[in-house]
Amino acid sequence: MRYFMYLEFDGSSYSGWQIQPHSPSVQQRLEEALSLFLRENVSVTGAGRTDAGVHASEMVAHFDLETPQECAWMRNKVNGILPPDIAVHRIVPVKPDAHARFDALSRTYRYYVSLRKTAFHRGYSWFLPNEPDFELMNRAAELLLHTVDFTSFSKLHTDTRTNDCRVTEAVWEPLPDGRRVFTITADRFLRNMVRAIVGTLMEVGRHRLTADGFREIIESRDRCRAGDSAPAQGLFLHKIVYPDNLFLL
């Protein structure tokens, strides 16, 4: 039986989602917890790979069991074993060939920035002592909706077959607590893509780069021309959407 697991995690203490040889990962903690109470080796496949220090308010992963188990019972058991910075929201049965990564229709990331120093958001947003021009940043972000090749915002030397992505949302908005959030939705994302986009948009907001200059960076397909990646702690994987027909309940 195959299951989808929906979870959240604080990535501050982890090397990212994927298992690493000598540092803790979210995937490792999940596999250890599931294997412990189910008394069988359980492998977990995530919807994607988050970098070190990146968080998720919704990550999805799938795993297989030889003997079907009650979902609420598994959720409660795994939450009792996991550390406090990882929490499973729900576990649901899916079709045998359902895949957490390849069947996702869209993924949404959110990047948070704080415009004032705060003791409580420092691990979950990028503090900007000077407010950038968000209106100009939004004009530049609109160009992403008409872009196909995102090579300029991809980590170099990855094993992807294509750098084509379809972005359907890219906008900066204010939050009630005074912070700003950049929301971006696409069918797929490249390694380091969101942080590279945010870092380059920040160059626009600081008037070091024009919207036309942002367009030229996109068209150059050259990561070296884009801005530095934004810090990891402001980035959250926010939502993943799947076809309804994958689920058995």
Residue range 69-85: average pLDDT?
97
Do 41 and 30 meet the contact criterion of CB atoms below 8 Å apart? Answer: no
Banded pLDDT at 161 (limits 50, 70, 90): confident
**In this model, does residue 121 exceed pLDDT 90?**
no
Decide which of 120 and 186 is more confident: 186
The residue among 59, 89, 30, 70 whose CA lies nearest residue 242 is 59
pLDDT in tens, 30-69: 999 999 999 999 999 999 999 999 999 999 999 999 999 9
Which of 51, 133, 159, 228 is labelled catalytic? Answer: 51
Q: Is the pTM of this model over 0.85?
A: yes
Per-residue confidence (pLDDT) for residue 159, from 0 to 100: 67
| Domain residue ranges of the chain, discontinuous segments joined by + | 2-102, 106-238
Please determine, looking at this structure, whether the domain spanning 2-102 carries the CATH number 3.30.70.580: yes
**What's the mean per-residue pLDDT of the chain?**
96
For this structure, is 51 an active site residue?
yes
**In this model, does residue 249 exceed pLDDT 90?**
no
Task: Determine the Cα–Cα distance for residues 214 and 224; give it in Å rounded to an integer.
Answer: 13
Please determine, looking at this structure, whether the domain spanning 106-238 carries the CATH number 3.30.70.660: yes
Per-residue confidence (pLDDT) for residue 157, from 0 to 100: 62
